[in-house]
A and B are shown apart, each in its own frame.
Chain A
Amino acid sequence: EVVMTQSPATLSVSPGERVTLSCRASQSISNYLAWFQQKPGRAPRLLIYGTSTRATGIPARFSGSGSGTEFTLTISSLQSEDFAVYYCQQYNNWPPWTFGQGTKVEVK
């Protein structure tokens, strides 16, 4: 099973700041990595797949990068609606499909 590790667990930021979230896989997953955003009481929403491809309707301020075992989600200028929990997920080695434990982006 591929273990996904996200850091940090919590990020306190101000609107307008640039935000970088990290995700590490316990073994190479090529570029088969997705990022999800989840707000309280809502289902996760796909942001990015294939490490760097934005899903339909996702603003350009969200970008992803990386390969192998190290990945990054960047929000170029944090908006108020971006405060949420972000999860990474690998879909290279399955089953099982595995998720990171999440990074909470909160107001500073």
Chain B
Amino acid sequence: EVQLVESGGGLVQPGGSLRLSCAASGFTFSNYEMNWVRQTPEKGLEWVSYISDSFSTIYYADSVKGRFTISRDNAKNLLYLQMNSLRAEDTAVYYCVRHSRSYPFYFEYWGQGTLVTVSP
């Protein structure tokens, strides 16, 4: 059974930093592309960042470019999102999302999410 378990969310002040983790199990993590997607009541679902299986390709949403860094540890089956210079508008539930195995790649499995709150 595919499982994605996020952790690391919490309350942080504006300008602060937080690192989210996503522990993957039930599949060969190193074979799959991964994403972070966030959700707010105001903006709905927003894709945040993507990383290829081999680390060779990384993308960011314009809203987080230069502040967030995605990475992965294929030996430990872990996905990360380092979030710096956090703003109030980064407050959201953050989901770890796995792509499908074959092209075209759709968002197949989602973790349960972790809440990030940016507030003084």
Contacts and interface: CB of A to CB of B under 8 A. Distances in A.
Interface stretch (B13-21, B74-82, B101-109): B101-109
Decide if the interface of chain B is mainly helix, strand, loop or mixed: strand
Interface string B84-120: 0000000000010000100011111111110000000
Given A96-B47, A99-B46, A102-B44, A32 B108 contact: no
B95 A91 contact: no
B16 to A, nearest CB: 25
A45 to B, nearest CB: 7
B11 interface: no
Interface residues of A, number: 24
B27 interface: no
B59 interface: yes
Contacts of B100: 49
A87 interface: yes
Contact of B105 (A42, A87, A91, A100): A91
Interface string A28-44: 00001010100000111
Given A43-B110, A91-B104, A91-B105, A96 B44 contact: no
Interface of B: 35, 44-47, 50, 59-62, 95, 100, 104-113
17 contacts: A32-B104, A43-B112, A46-B107, A46-B108, A46-B109, A46-B110, A49-B108, A50-B106, A89-B45, A89-B107, A94-B50, A94-B59, A95-B47, A96-B62, A97-B47, A99-B44, A102-B45
